[in-house]
Amino acid sequence: MAAVVAASRKRPAPDDVACPPPAAAKKRARYQFSSIDDYEKLEVIGEGAYNVVFKARDRRTGEKVAVKCIHGGGPDRSAVFREAGCLAACRGHPSIVQIKDVAADEETGDLFIVMELAGSSFRDWLTRPFSEDRTREFMRQLLDAAKKLHSTRTLHRDIKPENVLLVPGGALKICDFGCATPMKPAGTPYPERRVGTMQYCSPEQLMGSRRYGPAVDMWALGCVMAELLTGQPLFEADTEEDVLQQVKDLRDELSAIGLHAFVSCRSCRRPGARSSPAF
């Protein structure tokens, strides 16, 4: 079975979301979690260097769910709060995977994000180009999801086919919010220079800027759209410098195509046709 929720292959990016302070004596804990014992582990469906995603059954309801385990405390604990918060902010949108619970293992200190079990990785289906009509249908869903994300002032920062689920019936859901973060005010730098997957990162991130916004998600969606239409990644380089060079080459190629089309259009105009006014 294909991975239902793509497991991160890297540690979630650090952010300035502070870890909860130790509770003072006789004070109620700031965060309350369910117990991971409420969930029966069934099988691993995704695995990375720092976390595991497994299929589980809610012992209370019998519902099948996807559970992402983040080991240990410290920065990882803070990352769980950030990821869960970003998912919760987008709760209810049909094109974003839904968070159901946050659970803890009292013995190990591990935290778990419990999500709906939905479909398989979209990457597994990108073995050929899709038609323009099908691409439009998919992109409408993804763009609507991005609209919801950004309306809640959330950046995903790692949109790619591996982080999209295809559910029965053809619906798409954006998943894996391990790199997501609350949006900062315009001009405010993020702590990290670049997060996410290099081939889907925007040029400003690749050039080292830490000041960016929703455009980074829109760039990634553009890369996904190109992949839907061609059946292969838009950029396939191994270094940031090479990806930037491919971006420049593509820009030059598109400019040349546009100029050629413009010249051809003018030369093929019917004799006597009225020219449009220049603006």
pLDDT tens-digit series, residues 145-188: 999 999 999 999 999 999 999 998 889 999 999 999 999 999 99
Q: Flag whether 20 is in a domain.
A: no
Query: Annotated catalytic residue: which of 158, 217, 238, 242?
Result: 158
Q: How far apart are CA 107 and CA 111, in angstroms?
A: 11
Rounded to 10°, the helix 215-230/132-151 angle is 160
Q: Flag whether 109 is in a domain.
A: yes
Residues 189 and 225 in one domain: yes
| Domain CATH for 176 | 1.10.510.10
**At 262, is the pLDDT very low, low, confident or very high (cuts 50, 70, 90)?**
low
Total structural domains within the chain: 2
| 199 membership: H or E segment, kind and range | none
Residues 194 and 163 in one domain: yes
Residues 100 and 131 in one domain: no
Q: Using CA atoms in the order 100, 179, 80, 83, what is the torsion angle rounded to 10 degrees?
A: -40
Find the domain containing 195 and state its range: 120-230
Q: How far apart are CA 247 and CA 196, in angstroms?
A: 17
Say what the pLDDT of residue 257 is.
Answer: 78
| Residue 158 annotated among the catalytic residues of the structure | yes
Residue with tokens 């930037």: 244
Tell which of 116, 135, 161 closes a domain.
116
Residues 199 and 127 in one domain: yes
Q: Flag whether 5 is in a domain.
A: no
Say what the pLDDT of residue 22 is.
Answer: 37
Q: Flag whether 63 is in a domain.
A: yes
**Secondary structure (3-state) at 249:** helix
Q: Flag whether 269 is in a domain.
A: no
Please determine, for residue 2, whether its predicted confidence score (pLDDT) is greater than 60.
no
| Domain CATH for 70 | 3.30.200.20
Tell which of 116, 145, 175 closes a domain.
116
Residues 39 and 134 in one domain: no
Q: Flag whether 275 is in a domain.
A: no
Q: How far apart are CA 67 and CA 113, in angstroms?
A: 6
**At 211, is the pLDDT very low, low, confident or very high (cuts 50, 70, 90)?**
very high
